[in-house]
Each structure stands twice: as C-alpha cells, then as structure tokens.
Structure 1
Amino acid sequence: MSTDPQGFDSSAVTTWLRSVAPDAVASPLTATLITGGKSNLTYRVTDGVHDYVVRRPPLGHVLATAHDMAREHRVMSALASTAVPVPRMIALCDDPDVLGAPFYVMEHVDGTPYSRASQARSTRQRTHAGDHRTPGRHARRAARRRPPDHRAG
C-alpha cells in the first residue's frame, strides 16, 4: 500500500533523482502535499537528510503552456544570479513517464506558503521589523534585467 500523496510516486522520483543528481538522495524519498496552491501541485520531499520541494502540473488533462514546468524552472534558474531570492534548482524532469507529467525539484526554503494575497498582506501588517517593500524591489529589479541569450550559435 502506497502512502504517497496523489500525483506523486516516491519510488519513481527517488530512482530518477539518483540518476541525475546522485549526491542529492541519501535514502528513499517521502513526500507530503503542500496545500493551498491554486493550480500546480507542490510537495515537500525529504530523504531524512535533504529537504526539497517538487512542483508538477495538476492531475488530469491540462494545457502544456498553462502549466509549463520547464519554463518555471528556467525562470527561477535565471533569477538565481540576481538579487531576487529564489530557491536553488536541483533538477528538471521532462520525462512524463516518471510522474505522468514534467516536474522539477528545488531546495526547500523555510517559510509560510500563502494561498491568498490577503494572508501575506495581513502578515506584512503585523511585521514591523522587515521592509515589506523588498519583494517589490526585487520584482522591479528582475523586470529590468535583460534575460540571457540562450540561442545556439
């Protein structure tokens, strides 16, 4: 009997991740669904030593362009060299045979996942120690940054 959350196969992801990043997995992975998302499924994954997050499209038929995991992975990877805080990308799997859809693995970063903007605003209003404008500054800085040219040649 599997204890995996719906849409996740710990054995398949463990095997795949070991094949692409052998040092990233010390023992078989276990996963829990991070609730509150609006569309893509997000899982907290651990092997007892490393903590990761896996993102994949929702279950069922979806438009590939609406839930493009490769694009999401590519954007976050590109932001890693900027002042925008993003988790470290571990690997992208574009083989739908592993989980039934493309997905990616990134490092887990402690924090609170919000499902509504009002939750973040409420937290920001209660927190006076931090500068709540910082995320907006990061977003504006990223918007001004010219994307890298990935064309061959």
Structure 2
Amino acid sequence: MSFELHPQLEKDSIHVGNFDLSELRIINDANYPWFLLIPKVADVQELHHLNDAQYAQLSQESRRLSQAMQRCFSPDKMNIASLGNMVEQLHVHHIARFKTDISWPNPVWGYAPAKSLSPAVIAQHSADICRHLNDAETFIK
C-alpha cells in the first residue's frame, strides 16, 4: 500500500516541501507559526512503528525544522508533539510558542479558534522556512 495523506491533514494544512522521509506542511492557523512533518510511509500511526532508519531520519528532519523555525520566528519555546488522537496517521507538530500568544502557557488545542492564514503569510512563512532548510541536501521544495 502506498502513502496517502489523511484528508483532515490535507484540509488543515498546506504543502511546503519534502524531506527524504517526510512531507512538510504549514497548518492554516494564524495564531501560531505551526508546521507538520508527515512521514511518507503507508499505514504508520506511531513513532515506534517506523524502522530504525526511518526513526533516525524523522528525528533529523524534526531537528532541522526546529532549528529553522527558531531562526525564523525566535519563539520563547518550541513545542513538538505527535499526538494522533484525532488523526491516527503519524504526523509531528512543530509549533513556535510565544509568551504573548493567544493561548500561552496552555496547549494550543481547543484553546482558541483557528484563524486562517492569508496567502501572503503562507507564502512568507513557507519561503522563510525553505530558505533556512535549503542548505540541507535532504530538503526539496
């Protein structure tokens, strides 16, 4: 079976680019700079379902994304989580948090309604992240 993006992830996010293992997407919520890594592996729900090489690759991609987000947004805290309570397909949230954001210090889920990103902000955030990731041989826009 081949990899298929869960419809809810497709609905809530916009494609930015690809790493060797994962698709990079931006969540359509103007409340936070929020990106997803979604391993392009069929029928994977949990981190421990990945083989050793895939797990190591996802860890590397997550680290690179976190570093890029730190440089782009200078957050007070980076939140990284793989929950899957609503969408079982493995996906890893990367959320730049600020002491001034709408839900600080609470979790982002269920605190404030999502506000759609404008096309200009989507383009700017995507370009900024891509600029910081393009030095990685494994990132393909």
TM-score bucket of the superposed structures, by smaller chain: 0.3 to 0.5
Q: Structure 2-normalised TM-score?
A: 0.41
**Which of structures 1 and 2 has the larger relative contact order (alpha carbons within 8 angstroms, sep 6+)?**
2
